[in-house]
Structure 1
Amino acid sequence: MARDNQSDGYSDSGTSSPRRRRLLQAAGGSSLGLLAGCIGSSLGGGGGDDGPITIGSLQPLSGNFAPWGAAHSAGLQYAIDEVNADGGVLDRELEIVEADTESNPSEGDSLFRNFVEQDGAVALTGPVSSDLGIRTAQTAEEMEVPIVFHMAGSHEALRKSSRYTFRVGSLTAMMDIQNQVDLIAEKGFEKVGAIMADYAWGQSVNDQIDERMPDDIDLTKSVVPLGESDFSSQLRDMPDDLEMMIASGNPPGQIPIHNQLRELDLDPEITTGAGFPPSVLFGGLGAENAETFGHIHIVDPYSDDFNDLASSYAEDTGERMDTHVGLGYVAGELITTAIENAGEADPEAIATEIRNIELDTILAAPLKYTEYGEIDDVVTMFSTFETGGPDHYPDGDYSLVEYHRSEPLSGDIVEPYLEDDW
């Protein structure tokens, strides 16, 4: 079962939350009347018509991705606690079954199957690594039970035929680089650097830079071995008046890339990173270097909805809601809203409602999807850091400062790169 410490102090008053009512009415017509007897219907079901509705949580609770797993798990649990305090869904309680995937694709596949076949999970969430996302996407399509990724940004996790796989937190390389090309144009930058790691994600970023970067940009880029930590030789090849460094193609190296830039007296206006939790970034960069580092996120920490929720979260748990805790919360409200709109805890109906939803939430734009499960019309932000906590968590070490907010990015940008089927 899921950890229950996040619910300590939560008031189970039975009073209906105005925010909760708005979310449940957010969009997506009913999918009642879907054919019975489908694979998803026979495997899922969440304990019959009267028992709890079960959601599976596949989290990296150990290893390199553990900070993501802990944050996502906390936000998911808080969303489910909030729903249960408001009477549940379809007059039924919700429960979470959770386990540590160790970011191992085979383990994630086994846990997925066990959660569905033994625990009756009707939907799952959690994967961070792309390898795990690709494997569990295949499992979701085979078993016809929806999965909502926390991160897992590789476009290889989707196919044009995908109907049970949905992305939330991480952009594909296509969206990531298009967003950064738009940032370069907005800021008028002319001299840009990029360092990618030599593995699937870094190679995708490198290919997209080659495809999308305008010819008039003075671009200096390198591809280095995955796990490299000394970037001094690559950085010395950068121009002295470098304006922007793209480090999003090397997630493990993004912090040392930026710190070593500063040590070599290269001072670009911004270094753009991949989706690390902001506390990890601030701790690794230090206060001064973090002022020019761009944390990428789609949760909008500057919105009233986020600040109201983050204040309640801090009051109830004593912890800070950051952008990744927020993504866990969004996954929980997405799944529960889809169940409510479907009028039944059936995996096929839930997947259909997610695919058709337009959910007004704490993201910078309403959450919606393409037919094949890519996040659509997503607005993404880069934020830098300043010392001192925000209003909703004044004891915090840092606050985020908005640097760039994109126009909506269409999920259709990804489709030409997708295979037809598994």
Structure 2
Amino acid sequence: MGEDSDDVLIGNTAALSGPMSSYGPYIRDGLEYAAQQINDDGGVLGRDLRIATEDNESDPETAATTALRQMDEGAVAVTGPVLSDVSIRVRHETEAQQVPFLPIQGASPRLLDKETRYTFRVGALPAPYYARATGEFVEHIGADNYAAIVADYSYGHSYQEGIEEFVKSIDGLNTQVELAPAGADDFSSQLRALPDDIEYMDLGGHPVGIFTIIPQMWEVGLDPDATSGPGDPLPIFYDALGDDIDRGITQIHMVDPTTDEYVDVAQQYFEETGEFFDPFTTFGYVTAQLVAEAIEDAGEADPQAVRDAISDIRFDSLLAYPLEYNEWGELTESKLQVLEFNLDSPPYYPDGDFYVESLFETDTFEPLDPDEWE
């Protein structure tokens, strides 16, 4: 598809380099695949939907610059960032320009405040809710001994607040939380401080260190029944851990890849591209669908009209929750899945070495009040 001036433009300020570069291609590919399907079906209001992707280098200022350029070129919405600080920096620009912003990730409770009107969560819930999901799952499996390693920066602190609220309040649960630097590469002191009989290891509060912590955990003799981590692209987990991925490794995620709807789309994606349809591909795919639906509802491809339509929408998608928003862009209802890895290929990707299945679905969460969290 050429860059026709009549195209409807979605700006994608993407993490294609820097520390989050493994995420950006999945998101970009999901956006482009959805746009292709939409255009094959007649486009939006008879116009082609085009995804304009630029590398934000996983850097807040670079992301802000690319977002401003995309808005200057007429983007009706902006998406793409992964890191919370990148999303927050882009939010300042899109709110000022009054252009809808749909960050793919950004789990900091500070991503939104009660004054935001053009920013809408899509693929990451606020950090405390991941701790809440962990607490619900710990109760579900009946674990008695819980441990966590939490990173010493804003996201980790928010996650630790969630542990205080949703995990330590569980009757009869023994808990121990160790703090570690965000950039640490040796966690042996934190791991040796933990009791030998932990049944559940929670690494959702240290997403950067997870693939270092897990092997070191096994090396020091800790072998919990379940170890949970953030919802990273699934192949990253397998590339890092290999066949050890079935040693109780779980993810807390917004997507259940075993639903019929997901399998159908993932199968079609493989047949057309030969590629794996990862949950992060889903986030891009759903975001493009949401913007297209909002444009159709609005009857025009104008940022203000699109923003108003998103504010009023209830959009069912491949995510575990409908996309419906309160006045400051928080999801009115959401839930999370606990996914477990297994060593076999999924039905929609015969070349795969692993698949995931949902072990547990949380209760529905109400919108987080940003004034109550760091």
Shorter-chain TM range is over 0.9
Once the two structures are superposed, residues 194-215 of structure 1 have per-residue CA deviations (whole angstroms, 9 ceiling, x without a partner) of 1011111111112222233216
Offset, 1:131:
0.9
- Aligned-residue RMSD, C-alpha: 1.8
**In the alignment, does 2:201 pair up with 1:245?**
yes
Match of 1:68 in 2: 23
CA–CA distance in structure 2, aligned partners of residues 290 and 258 of structure 1:
12
Match of 1:206 in 2: 160
Match of 1:178 in 2: 132
Contact 1:228 1:253 in 2 (8 A): yes
Match of 1:102 in 2: 57
Offset, 1:275:
2.4
1:149 to 76, 86, 103: 103
Contact 2:158 2:373 in 1 (8 A): no
Match of 1:16 in 2: none
Match of 1:369 in 2: 325
CA–CA distance in structure 1, aligned partners of residues 152 and 122 of structure 2:
25
1:312 to 253, 262, 268: 268
Letter matched to residue 72 of structure 1: I
Match of 1:190 in 2: 144
Provide structure 2 residue ranges, at least 5 long, that are not aligned to the other structure.
none
Contact 1:299 1:327 in 2 (8 A): no
SS of 1:392's equivalent?
coil
SS of 1:305's equivalent?
helix
**In the alignment, does 2:347 pair up with 1:385?**
no
SS of 1:95's equivalent?
strand
**In the alignment, does 2:273 pair up with 1:323?**
no
| Length, aligned pairs only | 372
1:125 to 73, 79, 99: 79
Distance 1:204 1:415, change over 3 A: closer
CA–CA distance in structure 2, aligned partners of residues 259 and 414 of structure 1:
37
CA–CA distance in structure 1, aligned partners of residues 364 and 46 of structure 2:
36
Once the two structures are superposed, residues 306-325 of structure 1 have per-residue CA deviations (whole angstroms, 9 ceiling, x without a partner) of 11100110011010101111
Letter matched to residue 374 of structure 1: E
Contact 1:262 1:289 in 2 (8 A): no
2:43 to 80, 83, 88: 88
Offset, 1:291:
3.5
CA–CA distance in structure 2, aligned partners of residues 122 and 324 of structure 1:
22
Offset, 1:304:
0.9
Contact 2:23 2:82 in 1 (8 A): yes
Letter matched to residue 166 of structure 1: F
CA–CA distance in structure 2, aligned partners of residues 233 and 72 of structure 1:
36
Contact 2:179 2:190 in 1 (8 A): no
2:176 to 197, 203, 220: 220
